[in-house]
Amino acid sequence: MGGSHLNQLDAFRRNFHPVGAEAVHTKVMFPFSTKGDLPEVLLIDDDLISREVTATLLTMTGCTVHTADDGDMAVRMVIDGTCKPGLILMDAQMPGLSGAELIAQLREHAKAAIFAISASEPPPEVTQAADGFLQKPFGTEVLRKLIENHKPQVEQAAIDPNDPVLNLDVLTQFRKVMPETAVRQIYKAVIVDLGKRIDALTNAIEKGDRAEVRRIGHAIKGGCGMAGAVQAAHLGAMLEASSLEPKDNQVDNSETLLRDLRDAARGLERMLDAELPA
């Protein structure tokens, strides 16, 4: 059993009557201004009761909750876009894909905080790989604090929408002094070089290597600037000026810059095909 929790638990919620208490009503219990203030949650647990009770408590906070009953299903859901979690809660010990291996695969495809949940202390490798640990049983107040600390951050695109992909004046100057085939070769080389530098940037960012990020940004700024690739050159300048955040050992705003750099490279390739078809 897995998938969108909101469509699965109507019957469960109607029949869930805690001992000595009135029926639980799944209204929003905590004051967030809009649903966009809340992280999307992926809950992974092979135990039906634990999964459904936890999912119900999460739903009561107003979150959109998706559930998976094993690690393989959870990874598939993230890869195919069924959910884009900002927060992942996963049982620390499950059959099949689980533990530190599951955390590693989830990190490849999701930008989410990952918390292990268990009734007992999880294995050390899980504790080290996860961002935190919640011991069962836990209540709505614990979940409320967790959600409050992981509300989605609004990312601002680094690319100025007014920046053209390519400076057509530079393209015109190239066309005046060399044949179309040579001009195309120049821009094809720029695109190939950008791809290599994006791979190198990814590695540098993962290592938290500020000097290397700045060096690559400087190279992108210079090379793309000479070729008139305006957006890529602008992003290179921003990477050159980037700093390192001490608290998480990551380059500040790097993920957004890297994403936008990929978009700029794709835009340049589309422009090349339109202006200088092979």
pLDDT digits (tens, 9 = 90+) for 137-165: 888 888 888 888 776 654 445 566 667 88
Q: Is the pLDDT of residue 190 over 90?
A: yes
For residues 71 and 239, the model is more confident at 71
> What was the pLDDT predicted at 253?
65
pLDDT tens digits for range 78-133: 999 888 898 999 999 899 998 999 999 999 888 889 999 988 888 899 988 998 89
For residues 25 and 3, the model is more confident at 3
State what percent of residues in the chain have pLDDT above 90: 39
Domain made up of 3-148: CATH architecture: 3-Layer(aba) Sandwich (3.40)
> What was the pLDDT predicted at 243?
55
For residues 141 and 196, the model is more confident at 196
Q: How confident is the model at residue 198 (pLDDT cuts 50, 70, 90)?
A: very high
3-class SS letters over the chain: CCEEHHHCCHHHHHHCCCCCCCCCCCCCCCCCCCHHHCCCEEEECCCHHHHHHHHHHHHHCCCCEEEECCHHHHHHHHHCCCCCCCEEEEECCCCCCCHHHHHHHHHHHCCCEEEEEECCCCCHHHHHHCCEEEECCCCHHHHHHHHHCCCCCCCCCCCCCCCCCCCHHHHHHHHHHCCHHHHHHHHHHHHHHHHHHHHHHHHHHHHCCHHHHHHHHHHHHHHHHHHCCHHHHHHHHHHHCCCEECCCCEECCHHHHHHHHHHHHHHHHHHHHHHCCC
Q: What is the average pLDDT across 169-178?
A: 92
Q: Is the pLDDT of residue 251 over 90?
A: no
pTM (two decimals): 0.48
Which sequence spans correspond to the domains of the chain?
3-148, 168-275
To the question of domain 168-275 being in CATH 1.10.150.120, the answer is no
pLDDT tens digits for range 17-45: 333 333 233 333 334 434 457 888 999 99
